[in-house]
Amino acid sequence: MAKAVRPKTAHRTPPAAHFVLACLVLLPGCAGEQSAFSPFGVEAETTLALTWAMTIALGLIGIGVLWLAFHAWRAPPDRMDHKKGMRMVLWLGGIGPALFLGIMLTLSLPKMRAMDLARDDLTVAVDGEQFWWRVRYRPSGGAEVVTANEIRIPVGRTVAFDLDSPDVIHSFWIPGLAGKLDMVPGRTNRLVVRATRPGTFRGVCAEFCGLSHANMAFDVVAMEPGEFDRWLAEQARPAGAAQGPGGELFQAYGCSGCHSVRGHGPVSAIAPDLTHFGSRRSLGAGTLPMNPQNTATFIRDSSVAKPGSLMPAFPGMSEADAAAIADYLHGLR
Ligand SMILES: [Cu+2]
């Protein structure tokens, strides 16, 4: 008689291993330009270190509790007496947690202090507006420099953000740099930061502020200090000479009633400053990649990309006019 062949069961990984594997695969998704797991500032680095410390401590406590439960389950019922039980409650329910929380508090308290600011440190006033960012650099001893929708900071220097809002409550959050802070109409909240490495990162509005709240982001560029000083000096200059017919169209359509192009006509502070628009990395507060096609579409009807946008549409504008204005704006560097 032929021997029955037992079907070989395929080797199976247990479900828990699947879960751990899935987590490992997903973990790189946490890194990136808008992530507290890729810190580029002192505060975010501290927060991340504390997060790891707490995660490891909680993991160890969890394993300890499971181990105890396992032993309690297997122990004969008469092994535990009242006195032993009380002692365990005292240590594991009272003294242990008190010690643990005490250590966590001692570790956290010094890290909660705001960073010291020297008198000649750079201040950057940022206003959250519906749905864009007004940015004003206030270097010590220099004149104010106005830009929008992009923030640059020097690596290794302390910078204070003075946060405000003229309309509703927004929240200023650069996850890789520091915690978030509300922008409240009528009061100025100060956030002191220091970048630790150069790179391009992203910040967002973290408080629902209207229809295009999700389209309210900004690029953050951390630069070497010397490079930053040159960049700021460049931004302080008025725009260079206009090329092509776009400059005149910009005035004719009344764009300058809301937008400033310093050096080209009237100064207006209602909408984002466009003096060096062409040097920015994204369009419409982090909404679209910066290129002339996107800009031409945005100019004729910004609500296509940003529902609820407070910039009026120009339905009567020809595509040729929009393209000419976009070319003009991209020439402003
Ligand atoms: Cu907002």
Confidence of residue 45 (pLDDT cuts 50, 70, 90): very high
The residue that leads in pLDDT, 323 or 2, is: 323
Q: Are 121 and 43 contained in the same domain?
A: yes
The residue type at 195: A
CA of 169 to the centre of ligand 1 (A): 7
Q: Are 138 and 282 contained in the same domain?
A: no
CA of 208 to the centre of ligand 1 (A): 6
Q: Please give the tally of structural domains in the chain.
A: 2
Q: Are 63 and 151 contained in the same domain?
A: yes
List CB-based neighbours of ion ligand 1 within 5 Å.
170, 205, 209, 216
- Give the tens place of pLDDT for each residue, 203-248: 999 999 999 999 999 999 999 999 999 999 999 999 988 888 999 9
Domain assignment of residue 99, given as a range: 33-72+89-224
pLDDT of residue 1: 46
| Residue 118 belongs to a domain | yes
pLDDT of residue 175: 96
**Rounded distance, CA 51 to CA 64, Å?**
20
Q: pLDDT at residue 80 above 80?
A: no
CA of 228 to the centre of ligand 1 (A): 27
CA of 94 to the centre of ligand 1 (A): 44
The reported pTM is: 0.86
CA of 206 to the centre of ligand 1 (A): 7
CA of 129 to the centre of ligand 1 (A): 7
CA of 124 to the centre of ligand 1 (A): 18
- For 75-183, where are the alpha helices, taking DSSP H only? 82-88, 96-112
CA of 199 to the centre of ligand 1 (A): 24
| Residue 297 belongs to a domain | yes
Q: pLDDT at residue 28 above 80?
A: no
pLDDT of residue 154: 97
Beta bridge partners of 205: 172
Nearest to 271 by CA among 282, 280, 281, 284: 284
pLDDT of residue 11: 54
